[in-house]
Amino acid sequence: MRQTRFARNIWLGIENLLLHKLRSFLTMLGVVFGVGSVVAMLSVGEGASKEALEQIRKLGSNNIIVSSVKSAEEEALSTTHSHMSIYGLLYEDHRRIAESFSHVKQTAPAKIMRKDSRLGEKEMELRVVGTIPQWFELVPREVVAGRVLLPLDVAQKTPVAILTEYGARKILATESTIGQTIRIGGDQFEVIGIVKSESGQAQAGNIQIQIPDQEVDVYIPMEVARRYFGDIFTKRTSSGDEREKVELHQIIVEVDEGDKVEAVAAGIKRMMEQFHKKKDYAVSVPLALRKQAEATKRRFNIVLGSIAGISLLVGGIGIMNIMLASVTERTREIGIRRAIGAKRRQIVYQFLIETTVLSTTGGIIGLGVGALIPFLITYFSGMITVMTWKGILLPLSISVTIGILFGLYPAMHAAKVEPIVALRHE
Amino acid sequence: MIERACSQEGKEIVKLEDAQKIYQMGTQEVKALAGVTVSFKRGSFWAIMGPSGSGKSTMMNILGCLDRLSSGRYYLEGQDVSTLDDDSLSELRLRHLGFIFQSFNLIPQLTVQRNIELPLYYLGWDSVQSAQRAKEIAEEVGLGDRLGHRPTELSGGQMQRVAIGRALANDPQILFADEPTGNLDTTTGEQILELLVKLNKQGKTIIIVTHESTIADHARNKLHMLDGRIDRIEGNSNEAN
Ligand SMILES: Nc1ncnc2c1ncn2[C@@H]1O[C@H](COP(=O)(O)OP(=O)(O)OP(=O)(O)O)[C@@H](O)[C@H]1O
Ligand SMILES: [Mg+2]
C-alpha cells in the first residue's frame, strides 16, 4: 500500500512537470550535462584501467623487458660501407641479471633474426626467436598443438621449432605439420608445436612497450640459434649490406613480487650503465603502464569532474530557482491544499518529489548523453571506455541527491505559506 | 487540550469566548474581532451578515481553523482549539471541517474528480475508493457527467458545486461558506443555497457569510456583525435549535 502511494506521488509530480514541458526540460539541462560528464568520466577512467590491465597481462605483470637498441650514432655509421655495428645486450648481461638480484625469479634471453623459411612448397620470411624454455612461462601463450621448448631440447641442442598459430596459417602449417621438417635459413628444423601469439605495442601516455612476441614468430632453442646462425647478421638494404653483431636482442626478467619490480628495474639500469659505455639498451617496465593509466585517469577526472561539478551545481541552482518561482506561482494552490488539511510536511514532500523527479529525469537523460560521450571518445581517439554498474548507479544517485538537496529550500518555502494569506493571493 | 464538560453544552458544536483578532497596522491596531462571544449548535444553519469590513471573514477563518485568535477561546466540539499547533489544526480541517469560498478556489490543473478527491488524498484513501467516493459526491452536487472536466471548462455555478463537492468529500460536521454566491447570478446562487439547505437537512451544521438578505433568508439564524462585534442576532435565538 505504502509502495503504491509512493508511486502515485511520483506520478503526480510527473503530471505537474508535464504541465510545463519546455520549462521542465530546460531546468533539467544542467543535471543532464553534469550527469553526462560523470558517466563519461567514470567510463573513460574504467576503460583506461582495463586497457592498462589487458596490456600488462600481455606483457607479464611482474616482467621487466630489457632490449637492445641501436644508438643514433651507430645508425649513422652503419650506412658507411663495410662497417659492422656492434651493440646491444651481451650473454654476460643475461648471466649477471639472472645471478645478481635475489628477487629475480627467472629470465628468458632471446636472439631475434629474420630468416627466409620454407615449409613444403610455401616460402616466407619468419622472425626467428632463439630462446630457452622459460620464455614460454614469461610470455605465456596458449599452446594450440604439440608442445613448447623443454630443457631436454636445450640439453640435446636438437633443432626443433615452434610456430605461432598466425604464422602457421600463413605458411600453410596445420596440426599434422607437427613432426615434419621446416627449413629456416639453410637448416632443417622439426616442427614440434604451435602457440598463439600477441603483437603490437602496449601504450599508455608517453610510455610505449613492444610486446615480446609477434604474429609470425618461430621459436628455436637458443644454443641452436647460436650455433647455426652466429651473432653476426647481415641485413640487405637499398644502400648495400649492413652488418651487425648483436649477442642478445632481448632479456625478459620476471620478478617474484609485484612491489619489487621497480627496485629490480632500477638495479638492472644501474648495472647496465656500469657495463655499457653507450646506451645501446632499453629497460621497460610494463607495470609503469598502469601508473600512466592512473595518471590519464586522474587527468580525465579533473577535467570531467570539474565540468560535472559545475554543471551539477548550476543545474541544482537552476532547479532551485525554477522551483522557487513555481512556489510563488502556485501560492494559491498551496493555500488551497493547506485549507483542505494538508500538513506543512506534506507540502514539503510534494515539492521535494517534484524536484527529485525533475533532477532524476535529467539524470536519466544524462546517462544517455554520458553513454554517447565515451562512444565518441572511443571513436575519435581509440581510447577504450567501459560502462560499469557503478558508473551508472553513482551518477543516478547523484542526480537524486541534487533534487533533494536543491529542492529542500523551495519546498520549505512552500510549506511556510499561510493558508489565509495564500487564499487572498491573486 | 481542554475537554469541556459536554453534559450541559452537548449540542454546542462551535463556541467563541471573548474572541479577539487584532491586526497591527504600523502603530495602529485594527480590531477585526473585538471580543465576540457566541455559540452555534450542531445541525444549525447560520448566516453571518454585516457591512464590509465588519469582521465576517475574519470570524469565518477563525471558525474554520484557518487562522488563530489574538486572545479569547475557541471551542470546537468542546475542544479548545486556540492552543493547538499547526499540524493539529490541519488534522481538524482535514477530518471535521469543510470550506467553500467566494472565488471557488479549485486547483486549475486538476480535473473535477481530482479536485473532489483532494481531501481523500490527504486522508490517505487509495485511488479506487476515492474515485468511487468522488463519483458519488459529484452526482450528489449534480455534476455526475463532468468528472473529467477541468475547472476552466465549467460555469461559475458548476465550479461552486465542485467546491461544495470537495468540501463534502471528507464528510465534515461543519460546512463554512464565505460568500459562496458572491460570484454567481441570482438564479445560480439560489440553486447553490438550495444545495446547502439540503445538506443542512441531512444534518450538517452550516455557517455562511452573505450580503444578500434573500440568501440569508434560507438560514434559520442570522448574526449581524458591526465593527468586529455582534450587532444583533435575528430569527431563532441561540436556544432555538
Ligand atoms: N491580514 C490583515 N491585515 C490587516 N488587517 C486586516 C487583515 N485582514 C483583515 N483585516 C481588517 O480586518 C477588518 C475585518 O476584515 P474582514 O475581511 O473580516 O471583513 P469582512 O466583514 O469579511 O468584509 P467583506 O464583506 O468586505 O468581505 C477589516 O478592517 C480589514 O481591513
Ligand atoms: Mg469577507
The alpha carbon of A137 and the centre of ligand 1 are apart by a number of angstroms equal to 95
The residues, ordered by sequence, that sit 6+ positions from B109 with a Cβ below 8 Å of its Cβ are A15, A16, A19, B150
Mean pLDDT of all residues belonging to chain A: 89
Residue B24 host element (H or E):
strand B12-25
pLDDT (0 to 100) of residue A77: 72
Q: Are B116 and B134 in contact (CB under 8 A)?
A: yes
Mean pLDDT over all residues of chain B? 90
Considering only the C-alpha atoms of chain A, give the largest distance between any 2 of them, rounded to a whole number of Å: 106
**Partner residue opposite A340 with nearest CB, options B93, B126, B127:** B93
Q: Provide the 10 A C-beta neighbour count for residue A151.
A: 11
- Which among B54, B178, B179 is the best mutation to test ligand 1's pocket, defined by most ligand atoms within 8 Å of the CB? B54
pLDDT at A240 over 80: no
ipTM for the predicted complex comes to 0.92
Specify the pLDDT at position A79. 65
Element (H, E) at B127: helix B127-140
pLDDT band at A425 (very low <50, low <70, confident <90, very high): low
Among A1-10, A224-233, A297-306, where is mean pLDDT lowest? A1-10
CATH 3.40.50.300 for domain B2-235, yes or no, is yes
Q: Residue B226 phi/psi, 5° resolution? A: -155, 120
Residue A39 has pLDDT above 80, yes or no: yes
Q: Distance between CA atoms of B21 and B30, rounded to whole angstroms?
A: 8
Chain centroid, CA B109 distance in Å: 24
- A194-198, A270-274, A305-309: least confidently modelled range: A305-309
Q: What is the pLDDT of residue B7?
A: 36
* Sign (positive or negative) of CA dihedral A14, A17, A22, A23: negative
Ligand 2 centroid to residue A395 C-alpha, Å: 53
Residue A255 bridge partners (DSSP): A104
pLDDT tens digit sequence for A374-388: 888 888 887 788 888
Tell me how far apart the alpha carbons of residues A315 and B87 are, in angstroms, rounded to a whole number.
Answer: 34
Residue A404 pLDDT greater than 90, yes or no = yes
Ligand nearest to the CA of B32: 1
Please give the average per-residue pLDDT across A87-94, as a whole number.
Answer: 92
B25 DSSP β-pair partners: B28
pLDDT of A14-24, one tens digit each?
A: 998 999 999 99
Signed CA dihedral, A374, A376, A379, A383: sign only: negative
Give the burial string for A393-411 (b: 16+ CB within 10 Å, else e).
eebbebbebbbebbbbebb
A363, three cell numbers:
539524470
For residue A76, the tally of other CB atoms under 10 A from its CB is 9
| pTM for the full predicted model | 0.76
pLDDT at A236 over 80: no
Domain spans, chain A: 2-55+292-424, 63-256
If you ran DSSP here, which 8-state letter would residue A183 be given? Answer: E
CA distance B239 to chain A (A): 31
Residue A158: closest CA among A137, A181, A136, A175 = A181
CB contact under 8 A, A341 and B107: no
* Domain boundary assignment for chain B: 2-235
Q: Considering only residues 335 to 354 of chain A, which have any Cβ-Cβ distance to chain B shorter than 8 Å?
A: 335-344, 346
Q: Check residue A239 and give its pLDDT.
A: 67
With CA atoms as reference, report the closest residue to B33 among B41, B22, B43, B24: B22
Write the DSSP symbol of residue B153: G
Residue written as cell 621446416?
A: A182
Q: Which amino acid, residue A182? A: I
**pLDDT, average across residues A303-308:** 84
Three-state secondary structure of A237-254: ECCEEEEEECCECEEEEE
For A93-127, the pLDDT digits (tens) are 999 999 999 999 999 999 999 999 999 888 999 99
Chain B residue with CA closest to A350: the answer is B122
Ligand 1 neighbour B56 (Cβ under 6 A): yes
Residue pair B111/B158 in contact by the 8 Å Cβ criterion: no
Q: What is the chain A residue with the closest CA to B170? A: A340
- Return all residues near B73 (Cβ < 8 A) that are at least 6 apart: B15, B16, B17, B18, B19, B80, B82
Nine-digit cell string for B61: 477563518
- pLDDT of A324 > 80? The answer is yes
pLDDT at A3: 55
* Mean pLDDT, rounded, for A285-293: 85
At A273, list the grid cell: 650503465
pLDDT in tens, chain B (241 residues): 344 443 333 478 999 999 999 998 889 999 999 999 999 999 999 999 999 999 999 999 999 999 999 999 999 999 999 989 999 999 999 999 999 999 999 999 999 999 999 999 999 999 899 999 999 999 999 999 999 999 999 999 999 999 999 999 999 999 999 999 999 999 999 999 999 999 999 999 999 999 999 999 999 999 999 999 999 998 754 444 4
Beta strand B205-209 pairing with B174-178: parallel
Q: Do A336 and B95 touch (CB under 8 A)?
A: no
What phi, psi does A147 have (nearest 5°)? -145, 170
Helix, strand, or coil here: A249?
coil
- A236 three-class SS: strand
